[in-house]
A and B are shown apart, each in its own frame.
Chain A
Amino acid sequence: MSGIAAEIGPGHNSGPDPGPDSGAGFDVERVREDFPILARQIYGKPLVYLDSGASAQKPRAVIDRLRQVYEEEYSNVHRGAHFLSGLATDAFEQARSTVAAFINAGSDEEIVFTRNATEAINLVAHSHAGAFLKEGDEIVISAMEHHANIVPWQLLRDRLGLVLKVAPITDRGEFLLEDFEGLLGPRTRLVAMTHCSNVLGTVTPAKEIIRLAHDRGIPVLLDGAQAVVHGKVDVRDLDVDFYAFTGHKLYGPSGIGVLYGKAELLDAMPPYQGGGEMIETVSFEKATFKAAPHRFEAGTPPIAQAIGLGAAMDYVSGLGIENIARHEAELLGYANERLAEIEGLRVLGQAPGKAAIVSFVIDGIHSYDVATILDRAGVAVRVGHHCAEPLMARFGVEATLRASFGLYNTRADVDTMVKALNKAKSVFG
């Protein structure tokens, strides 16, 4: 098993029969056929998609499921006595069960559907931290957070007078567990930490982080937007209190995210937004609210998107997340080897067991210019600060290029990128 999968933890494998490609073999060429968009050309060249960390492409299983929902099963959910409403509700709630099984939650009631990981974190900031924390209380994050796991806490800090503490990392992007432990004090009320850095690929030692926090009675939220894609996540094995992730990076539709929360924590939390779907009774004097998770799902939810996410998880489970992790780890090794051949290229983040996310800069050439040459070669990467400006400042750069690998990438993709990088060097160097 790869370091990534091992780090994220053993766990549950749900979904349909894995089929002949799981187990020892992972036939990437066959897998690629499941993704229609990979057949298209960009500027007359085959698409090399290395931006799955921003958003992954969708397999036919997801696309077909979405079409089926809209063509055959669509209606609003949790209301109405008609046939289609029942069908849509069943499919929607089945998706919740699929999500629960995918991350090995204790029950479906621990799965809250949100728009994305950002909203999931904001939900915790509002209804957990916002409800229970007081002036002077402390929240610990890390130096490699996405803005989505910084700004909600800053807003809350400013509103309630909280203190935000930042756990440091090494120059190689390794999480410093002892330094983190030193930040946990009598006023620490929450740890909100990435499970995998979207820039460095560093997988944080989540089990140890959670153990250290729990020893002091502190709950932990993990931002799993990247981690859940690259390896097995088992929320019960981790003993994590809240786990946030999004569907669109997991080969599912955009507009659907997930907040896992331990039942006792969710049950104690006040609503996030008010509206339909989340109430039991309403009069002009007062309203009473449903139990979790529906209490946190005001308004018509993203119905087809949730069902599509279920299809994506079935697809990933069918391939086997361990097989995907192994394939990606092999690709990461190859990418690191090839990138090391390019003079003046510096990779940010070399933590052991990291996920297949490679951020880099080339001396003397603006990353934006490099990305343009890559784009002209059909290679899609991300360029910029990756919604992690404090981390950019930590490494003394304003922007990096980021190649983030998915289950459909190949060694040939790496070769095409390296060739285009060499061209960029000749054009701008």
Chain B
Amino acid sequence: MALERYQEFAETLEAIDDEEMRFEYILDLAKRHRDDPFPEEWMTETNLMHGCMSKVWIVDRPQDGRHYFRGHSDAAIVKGLVSMMTEAFSGLTGEELQGLTLDHIRRLNLGALTMQRQVGMMAMLKHLQKLGRPDALAAAGSRPESPVRA
């Protein structure tokens, strides 16, 4: 499974032993994406992940049977988390995505986050898995507002 980026995140977060620093790292992830903004036309109802306290949009731009996600939130901290999640789990096949579990979230060592946030992270993972299912892939191709990988 191509989880190199995920491993990098996990190792980086493990190396940061200060809770405040870990928090700042997540904020930095959000800020980094200012250079590569999430297009406004992707902020559609279809791409909205429901059930979050802030707005979260996730899009899948599948290519060659692998899933490449981009994510965004109107809240900075959540933007950092969704950026990490979408980066960490991009490049996987649908089958590989289905194999991800709560342990993958736990191993990210996000001690600075409350349990509620970790539940939110798990919801994000489930959303990625839903997008990665074969039926979602087929629907994505026929959905006009869903972005396709250039």
Contacts and interface: CB of A to CB of B under 8 A. Distances in A.
Contacts of B76: 365-366, 369, 428
B145 interface: no
A399 B53 contact: yes
A316 B50 CA distance: 41
A383 interface: yes
B74 interface: yes
B10 to A, nearest CB: 22
A43 B19 CA distance: 9
A375 B19 CA distance: 13
Which of B55, B77, B114 has the most C-beta atoms of chain A within 10 angstroms of its own C-beta? B77
A427 interface: yes
Nearest to A366: B75
Contacts of A375: 114
Which of B19, B20, B53 has the most C-beta atoms of chain A within 10 angstroms of its own C-beta? B53
A368 B53 contact: yes
A366 B75 CA distance: 5
Give the interface residue-count category, chain B: 10 to 19
B27 interface: yes
Contacts, number: 25
B53 A372 contact: no
A384 B51 CA distance: 12
Contact of B23 (A366, A376, A383): A376
Nearest to B78: A368
Contacts of A428: 76
A330 B4 CA distance: 57
Interface in B122-139: none
Interface string B10-32: 00000000011001000100000
A422 to B, nearest CB: 17
Nearest to A385: B53
Interface in B62-83: 74-78
Contact of A427 (B27, B54, B78): B27
Interface string B43-69: 000000000011100000000000000
B77 A369 contact: yes
Contact of A372 (B20, B55, B77): B77
A43 B114 CA distance: 11
B62 to A, nearest CB: 30
Contacts of A383: 53
Contact of B74 (A366, A376, A384, A427): A366
Contacts of B74: 366
Contacts of A372: 77
Contacts of B53: 368, 383-384, 399
Contacts of A376: 20, 23
Contact of A369 (B19, B75, B114): B75
B75 A368 contact: yes
Interface string A353-374: 0000000000001101100100
B54 A366 contact: yes
Interface string A397-429: 011000000000000000000000000000110
Contacts of A384: 53
A368 B77 contact: yes
A372 B81 CA distance: 13
A282 B53 CA distance: 48
Nearest to A399: B53
Nearest to A372: B77
A399 B54 CA distance: 9
20 contacts: A365-B76, A366-B54, A366-B74, A366-B76, A368-B53, A368-B54, A368-B75, A368-B78, A369-B75, A369-B76, A372-B77, A375-B114, A376-B23, A383-B53, A384-B53, A398-B55, A399-B53, A399-B54, A427-B27, A428-B76
Closest 7 CB pairs of A and B: A366-B75, A368-B75, A368-B54, A369-B76, A369-B75, A368-B53, A372-B77
Given A372-B77, A375-B114, A384-B53, 10 more contacts: A365-B76, A366-B54, A366-B74, A366-B75, A368-B78, A369-B76, A369-B77, A376-B23, A383-B53, A399-B53
